[in-house]
Amino acid sequence: MSKRYERLMKCYESFKAKIDFTPEIALILGSGLGDYADGIDIRATLDYKDIEDFPVSTAPGHKGRFVFGYVNGVPVVVMQGRVHYYEGYPMEDVVLPVRLMKLMGAKVLFLTNAAGGVNWQFECGDFMLINDQICMAPSPLIGENLDEMGPRFPDMSEIYSKKLRDIVKKSARELDIPLREGVYIQLTGPNYESPSEVRMVRTLGADAVGMSTACEAIAANHIGMKTVGISCISNLACGVSNRPLSHAEVQETADRVAPLFKQLITASVTNIAKEI
């Protein structure tokens, strides 16, 4: 048994000692969406600090706890706050929650984030369904492989499940919520990108840029979880807009569109559960 797996099992045993709940879908909430979990049918909560050897989120606006409950009868585990690479954690810690939620029983990982718009056609407040990604942070699979959970060299030809993307698009149409689609790129942060870096990532094919998500999606695919992701375009990246960037702007936009985002998540979770 690898040391990574031993640590993961230690976290799992700590969870099992406190919570008796089996989720079908795992959700990671980005900036501005943290209070979505407060509105579900909550059955239990577990602070990250109360799980043995578990990383704790320090990002502003991230509560740092798991919420267990139901969304329209669908059992879910929701992360109110994720762990970021820019907080100084090793990548192994950043994706440990994804692996733990798989052990909890989740089959699907639903990722959300606030991202900067790189595509010239995007506007603040748009929602973008992620159809592919570029990860410019270190791979979470570097180092000792979790042989018990996935192969050494996993395929990444369909990181974001086409079937799940189709369900989200259908849910958006039913709610009459505009939904763009594109490629997400993860840089390390915590600084925002320079104008030249934005031109670079646009040249690479990115439509939105952020500081999370891609590494989590890689980890999820490695362990066999179906993955879907939506970005809230909370600001236009440097060079696309002449305005200086700030976390306050990101939070303001995310808060403004949160009601629609929550509707889309609820409908998508409900419809995904019918297919898994």
What pairing do the DSSP bridges indicate for beta strands 108-117 and 25-29?
A: parallel
Active site residue 62: yes
Q: Average of pLDDT values for 191-206?
A: 94
- Taking only the tens place, the pLDDT of each residue in 108-130 is 999 999 999 999 999 999 999 99
pLDDT of residue 234: 86
| Pairing mode, strands 208-210 and 108-117 | antiparallel
Instruction: State the helix-helix crossing angle for 162-175 and 247-273, rounded to 10 degrees.
Output: 100
Helix, strand, coil percentages (3-state) for the chain, rounded to 5, are 35, 25, 40
By residue count, the chain amounts to 276
Q: Mean per-residue pLDDT for 134-156?
A: 96
Amino acid at 172: A
Answer yes or no: 211 catalytic.
Answer: yes
pLDDT tens, residue by residue, 12-27:
999 999 999 999 999 9
Residue 158's pLDDT band, with cuts at 50, 70 and 90, is very high
Domain 3-273 belongs to what topology?
A: Rossmann fold (3.40.50)
Whether the per-residue pLDDT at 44 is higher than 80: the answer is: yes
Return the C-alpha torsion angle 80, 106, 4, 230, nearest 10: -50
Query: Catalytic: 235?
Result: yes
Nearest CA-CA partner of 76 in 33, 42, 32 = 42
CA distances to 58, 128, 220 from 49, in Å? 11, 32, 23
Q: Known catalytic residue: 114?
A: yes
From 37, 85, 87, 222, active-site residue: 87
Of 26, 37, 57, 62, catalytic: 62
Does residue 222 carry a catalytic annotation?
no
Q: What percent of the chain has pLDDT over 90?
A: 82
* Confidence label for 257 from pLDDT (cuts 50, 70 and 90): confident
**pLDDT greater than 80 at residue 137:** yes
pLDDT at residue 189, rounded to an integer: 93
**How far, rounded to the nearest angstrom, does the alpha carbon of residue 26 sit from its chain's CA centroid?**
9
pTM of the model: 0.94
pLDDT at 276: 84
Q: What is the pLDDT of residues 53-63, one digit of tens each?
A: 999 877 665 57
- Percent over 70 (pLDDT), the chain: 92
Which residue out of 106, 137, 206, 211 is catalytically annotated? 211
> Considering the chain, what is the average pLDDT of its residues?
92
Catalytic one of 26, 31, 119, 216? 31
Q: Which residue is catalytic, options 26, 37, 59, 84?
A: 84
Q: What angle do CA 31, 36, 37 make, to 5 degrees?
A: 110
With 70 as the cut, is the pLDDT of residue 242 above it?
A: no
Taking residues 172-188, what's their average pLDDT? 98
pLDDT value, residue 3: 87
Strand partners, 111: 28, 229
Which position among 149, 181, 197, 247 bears the catalytic label? Answer: 247
Higher pLDDT, residue 239 or 173: 173
**Distance in angstroms (rounded) separating the CA atoms of residues 81 and 84:** 9
pLDDT of residue 166: 98
* pLDDT of the residue at 140: 97
Domains of the chain, by residue range, sit at 3-273
Task: Fill in the amino acid letter for 261.
Answer: F
Q: What is the DSSP string of 16-41?
A: HTT-----SEEEEE-TT-GGGGGGSE
Annotated catalytic residue, options 161, 212, 221, 231: 212
How far apart are alpha carbons 130 and 159 in whole angstroms? 10
Write out pLDDT tens, residues 217-235.
Answer: 999 999 999 999 999 998 8
